[in-house]
Structure 1
Amino acid sequence: MPFTPGMEAVGEVIALGPGVTDRKVGEVVGYASGPMGSYTEEQILPANKVVPVPPSISPSIAASVMLKGMTAQYLLRRCFKVEPGHTILVQAAAGGVGSLLCQWANSLGATVIGTVSTKEKAAQAKDDGCHHVIIYKEEDFAARVNEITSGNGVDVVYDSVGKDTFQGSLACLKTRGYMVCFGQSSGTPDPFPLSVLAPKSLFLTRPSLMQYTATRGELLETAGEVFANIASGVLRVRVNHTYPLSQAAQAHADLESRKTSGSVVLLP
């Protein structure tokens, strides 16, 4: 302490530091993935970390999608480039990033398989473009993927769950398939010998958004594609809950007790 959480925000530029010429006072901008400290009414940010938010997108929508949307962009377009005809598996398909991955991949012409925990989440995943939804609490997802793909496996798995799904995700891949482990909500996967990848010559990566938006050009391109897909209707963003900034603690309590769904936005 003192500690101010938060790694993404959208707001209006109220002042410029010396030498800043590509931003202007009154402009709406956003940022994601750092620096920490967005749970504030005002924040000082490096000019090269913020991106302009198009007038067609509301600040609440933009704030809710910056981190998740840019994550979906680099995963689908650069980490493994999804193209028409690919078959992909999205773990936690009804989650924040999972929902966007399903919508975006479907628009790219991929066959999307998603895993979820409940029937309610299965309905959302279907609505988001999943062609096949697996409720992993009711059936073995790896066996079901094998059945769906007629034993061929998927081109890529996007896995943010980690420990609980890691081995099963590897089993879902086709020869020379890509395992993209971009999170570990259930814990870090157990260590394993590299020889496990050899029978199918699998690729394994543990990417991070910060390395995929390291340059100003990459950041602008990534955010720009997210905003363009929202504006065109490819991506639908669910802001189901808003709280005053003064109730940030309550927002966290509701998140932890699973009382929320979709995105949660704090309003200063």
Structure 2
Amino acid sequence: MRAVLVRQPGGPDALEVVELPVPVPGAGQVQIRAEAFGVGQPDVLIRRGVYKWMPPLPANPGNDVAGRISALGSGVEGLALGQKVLLSARDLSQRGGCYADYVVAPADAVHALPDHVELQAAVCLSNYQVAYALLHECRHPRAPASALVIGAAGGVGTALVQLAKLAGMTVIGTVSTEEKAAFTRANGADHVIFYRSEDVVARTRELTDGEGVGLVLDHVCGPEFTSYLGALGKWGTLLSYNAFAGLPEENLMAAMRDHLDICPAIRCFSFHIYDHDRDGRRALMRSVIEALSRNAIKPAISAVLKLDEVRKAHTLLEQGSALGKIIMIP
């Protein structure tokens, strides 16, 4: 079978498609014949060798696979040959391992899928799992009625827009181009802001009649981060879930005290809080699987590439031009 390995961390050229023996499931394990692979930022970080939860080298950098059960180990109950399943490396003992034609995993790590669910859509659900946690698990002081999503056309951004709308929120998304603006509106956002040419905070307050939003969701951080406090309404929360542009230079406490009239909150979120909370982690995934099964959400797929095109998939992801999720198929 084919699998993707990283022997020496680096750029997309570090990704090698190799031939390996088909793994055989042991007791309590299942073998999955892959039909779709998710491509995400953790995969890139593993490839670069900088992931905080780095698996040992040589490493298979894939973290999400959807397919059908093709073999059962002894003692496995409740799953059947041919059944559709989703596997996230978040449910494994270490990250990675999912870029392969066949993947073996503990039976209690996979998520059974309804037969009518499309596997290419299902493999996008890790983004929705994160988005659901951001919206519903971060315990905002008061349930937000509105949200500002920074980078609303990306993989997690599109999931945030859809789930926030499902929760009844008014959603504002920031984008960089007209193409992304049209995509974000079609994805459900009520308003878009062009962050390169518009003042995000001023425009947000204008769109909310001066009230501000209940929640700002930001994965960029960097020098703009503290300014988003000005976009919040009373009891609002500024929620950081990554820091692609580095850390803010301003004193966060001083910046918050400049907005004492709204009692703002800042929260820093990582999904790794669920690493040792199996029940919580899997409950989140069940929630988004259920939403997908009733067509309440519709994952936006930006590109579908072959596994042999894994270098191209990583290149596209790092270019930042994708509208939604990049996936691969065998």
TM-score scaled by structure 2? 0.73
For 1:33-54, what per-residue CA distance to the aligned partner results, in whole angstroms no more than 9, with x for missing partners? 5331211122232333321122
Change (3 A) 1:17 1:155: same
Task: Provide structure 2 residue ranges, at least 5 long, that are not aligned to the other structure.
Answer: 1-6, 8-57
Change (3 A) 1:23 1:81: farther
Correspondence for 1:4: 60
Q: Secondary structure at the match of 1:156?
A: strand
C-alpha deviation, 1:187, in angstroms = 2.6
Q: How high is the sequence identity, in percent, across the aligned residues?
A: 30
Correspondence for 1:92: 151
Alpha-carbon distance in 1 for matches of 2:250, 2:227? 15
1:215 maps to amino acid: D
CA contact 2:303–2:327 (8 Å) conserved in 1:
yes
Structure 1 position 182 matched with structure 2 position 241:
yes
Instruction: From the CA coordinates, give the structure whose radius of gyration is larger.
Output: 2
Count residues in correspondence.
267
Q: Which of 14, 21, 26 is 2:82 aligned to?
A: 26
Structure 1 position 61 matched with structure 2 position 125:
no
Whichever structure has more strand as a proportion of its residues is: 2
Structure 1 position 201 matched with structure 2 position 266:
no
Alpha-carbon distance in 1 for matches of 2:279, 2:223? 36
Correspondence for 2:293: 231
CA RMSD of aligned residues (A): 2.5
Change (3 A) 1:125 1:83: farther
2:224 maps to amino acid: T
C-alpha deviation, 1:104, in angstroms = 1.9
1:71 maps to amino acid: V
2:120 maps to amino acid: S
Change (3 A) 1:201 1:260: closer
Correspondence for 2:50: none
Alpha-carbon distance in 2 for matches of 1:151, 1:29? 46
TM-score scaled by structure 1? 0.88
Structure 1 position 170 matched with structure 2 position 229:
yes
Alpha-carbon distance in 1 for matches of 2:212, 2:183? 24
C-alpha deviation, 1:253, in angstroms = 2.4
For 1:60-107, what per-residue CA distance to the aligned partner results, in whole angstroms no more than 9, with x for missing partners? 1111x1211111111122224699871211111111111121122122
CA contact 1:31–1:66 (8 Å) conserved in 2:
no
